[in-house]
């Protein structure tokens, strides 16, 4: 159904007592914080009513957020950056991301058939991403030599962590994602069927779609995002900068509600209830068991093969997961440049940095017991073990974080990083 226009900004202006905020979301496990905020009274406690609107495509989320149909939305973490830069030939609207909706949560799934071919080459489930992509690279080379069609791999959207982590992984194994394979976009609900029917040979998507492919026996989870970039960001709360400027109190109230909802959602004691909420058809739908697996990181990577808990598979709250690190924004920008989505312009660095808004996050939470890091950016990949960092309470522990190839990303030297991965700037 079409959403009529007065829903967002106008209704939120109706009353100071309870403001209604219209928030768009996509049926994925990581809409959990929004659902918990709306269903468990966290929004209400801040004088907010959340009208959650389920959407079918990221393009809809983008357009409706840009036009103000939505006050805010669950967004792929690079999306507010792309919109601010006007990348992809769409409207250019300055957006902000003042809150991260979680770290990790994605995985790369390959078809059973493709995985069996890698296995014949010596691949094992217990291999790290580096080894697995080596097998994949040999397979890709062999296909080329035999004159067979290149592999087709799907992601969810061009400006997505999924796209960048898949490309990063492929490139690390010497596979050129634009030449050696075909990368396509598929909506998450179509992924499993496309894999089963052989239309795609693999995909990178959020849960529950990887687990569903495994459950159906058509896919094998070759790598989780947590193995590719531990503590890597995935979704954020995104909204127009104008809304943030016009309604700072309302936005701060929303951030407090989401912060408490994130804490609630990350409590293992609430796993059953959260899985039950998410499996309602109005939110994600599907079986609570599959939701539980994704939420707890106890996912099965291959049908019939028991696997243990995957550390940091999906982080809703721990390790300052909700903090909008500006280094995340700059990393995403570096990948947009790397893959030719936007031209590199040194003057864009400051614009990109300003999309992620630790200042709003801090302002919203200063009156609460939330711990706040002193820094707004960090060198990504620097923490090999859990490390205490400077914060308001002095007790904040981050990490371990990092990319599987051991590469560091210094947000103060984006140009140096780009050169180190072979991009001319």
| Positions that interact with another protein (CB under 8 A) | 1-2, 4-5, 56-60, 63-64, 67, 69, 86, 88-92, 156-158, 184-187, 189-190, 341
Q: Which two tokens stand for residue 45?
A: 């406690």
292, 300 contact by CB (below 8 A): no
**158 DSSP 8-state letter:** S
Give the nearest distance from C-beta 99 to another protein in angstroms: 24
Give the nearest distance from C-beta 184 to another protein in angstroms: 7
Following CA atoms 285, 289, 293, 296 in sequence, which dihedral angle do they give, to the nearest 10 degrees?
90
- Rounded Cα gap, residues 61 and 289, in angstroms: 28
- Rounded Cα gap, residues 235 and 65, in angstroms: 15
Give the nearest distance from C-beta 2 to another protein in angstroms: 4
Q: Which CB atom, from 15 or from 56, has the smaller least distance to another protein?
A: 56
Q: Which CB atom, from 150 or from 189, has the smaller least distance to another protein?
A: 189
209, 191 contact by CB (below 8 A): yes
Give the nearest distance from C-beta 188 to another protein in angstroms: 8
Closest-CA residue to 123 (of 113, 135, 114, 111) = 135
Residues 6+ apart with CB under 8 A from 42: 36, 257, 258, 260, 261, 264
- Rounded Cα gap, residues 295 and 23, in angstroms: 22
334, 414 contact by CB (below 8 A): yes
Q: Which CB atom, from 175 or from 370, has the smaller least distance to another protein?
A: 175
The secondary structure of 10-74 as a DSSP string is HHHTT-SSSEEEEEEE-SSGGGHHHHHHHHSSHHHHTTEEEEEEE-S-HHHHHHHHHHTSSSEEE
Q: Which CB atom, from 95 or from 265, has the smaller least distance to another protein?
A: 95
Q: Which CB atom, from 60 or from 307, has the smaller least distance to another protein?
A: 60
Q: Which CB atom, from 67 or from 305, has the smaller least distance to another protein?
A: 67
Q: Which CB atom, from 38 or from 66, has the smaller least distance to another protein?
A: 66
Residues 6+ apart with CB under 8 A from 29: 105, 206, 207, 208, 278, 284, 291, 294, 295, 314
- Rounded Cα gap, residues 102 and 86, in angstroms: 25
Q: Which CB atom, from 63 or from 252, has the smaller least distance to another protein?
A: 63
Give the nearest distance from C-beta 89 to another protein in angstroms: 4
Q: Estimate the crossing angle of helix 112-120 against helix 129-145, to 10 degrees.
A: 90
Cis before 208? omega within 30 = yes
Q: Which CB atom, from 79 or from 315, has the smaller least distance to another protein?
A: 79
Give the nearest distance from C-beta 84 to another protein in angstroms: 14
Q: Which CB atom, from 86 or from 248, has the smaller least distance to another protein?
A: 86
Give the nearest distance from C-beta 222 to another protein in angstroms: 22
- Rounded Cα gap, residues 80 and 95, in angstroms: 5
Any idea which residue has 């696997």 for tokens?
307
Give the nearest distance from C-beta 163 to another protein in angstroms: 9
Give the nearest distance from C-beta 155 to another protein in angstroms: 8
Q: Which CB atom, from 141 or from 184, has the smaller least distance to another protein?
A: 184
The CA distances from residue 335 to 94, 96, 103, 184, in Å, are: 20, 19, 18, 17
């Amino acid at each position: 159904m079409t959403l009529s226009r007065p829903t967002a900004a106008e209704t939120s202006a109706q009353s100071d007592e309870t403001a209604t905020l219209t928030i768009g979301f996509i049926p994925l496990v990581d809409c959990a914080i929004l659902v918990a905020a709306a269903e468990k009274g966290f929004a209400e406690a801040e004088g907010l009513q959340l009208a959650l609107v389920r959407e079918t495509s990221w393009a809809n989320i983008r357009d409706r957020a840009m036009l103000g149909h939505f006050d805010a939305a669950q967004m792929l973490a690079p999306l507010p950056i792309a919109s601010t830069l006007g990348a992809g030939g769409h409207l250019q609207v300055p957006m902000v991301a003042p809150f991260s909706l979680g770290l990790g949560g994605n995985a790369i799934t390959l078809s059973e058939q493709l995985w069996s071919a890698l296995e014949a080459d010596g691949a094992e489930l217990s291999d790290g991403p580096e080894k697995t992509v080596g097998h994949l690279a040999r397979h890709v080379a062999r296909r080329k030599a035999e004159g067979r069609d290149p592999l087709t791999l799907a992601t969810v959207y061009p400006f997505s962590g999924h796209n960048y982590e898949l490309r990063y992984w492929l490139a690390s194994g010497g596979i050129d994602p634009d030449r050696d394979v075909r990368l396509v976009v598929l909506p998450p609900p179509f992924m499993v069927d496309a894999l089963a029917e052989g239309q795609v040979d693999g995909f990178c998507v959020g849960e529950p779609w990887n687990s569903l492919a495994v459950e159906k026996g058509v896919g094998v989870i070759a790598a989780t995002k947590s193995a590719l970039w531990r503590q890597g960001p995935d979704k954020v709360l995104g909204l127009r900068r104008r809304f943030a400027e016009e309604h700072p109190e309302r936005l701060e109230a929303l951030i407090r509600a989401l912060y408490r909802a994130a804490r609630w959602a990350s409590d293992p004691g609430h796993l059953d209830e959260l899985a039950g909420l998410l499996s309602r058809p109005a939110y994600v739908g599907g079986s609570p068991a599959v939701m539980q697996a994704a939420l707890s990181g106890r996912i099965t990577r291959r049908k019939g093969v028991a696997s243990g808990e995957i550390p940091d598979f999906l982080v809703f709250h721990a390790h300052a997961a909700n903090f909008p690190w500006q280094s995340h924004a700059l990393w995403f920008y570096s990948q947009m440049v790397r893959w030719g989505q936007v031209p590199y312009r040194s003057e864009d660095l400051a614009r990109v940095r300003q999309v992620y808004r630790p200042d709003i996050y801090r302002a919203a939470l200063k009156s609460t017991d939330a711990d706040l890091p002193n820094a707004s950016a960090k060198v990504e990949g620097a923490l090999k073990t859990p490390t205490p960092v400077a914060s308001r309470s002095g007790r904040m522990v981050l990490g371990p974080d990092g990319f599987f190839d051991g590469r560091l990303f210094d947000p103060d030297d984006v140009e140096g990083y780009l050169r180190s991965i072979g991009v001319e700037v």
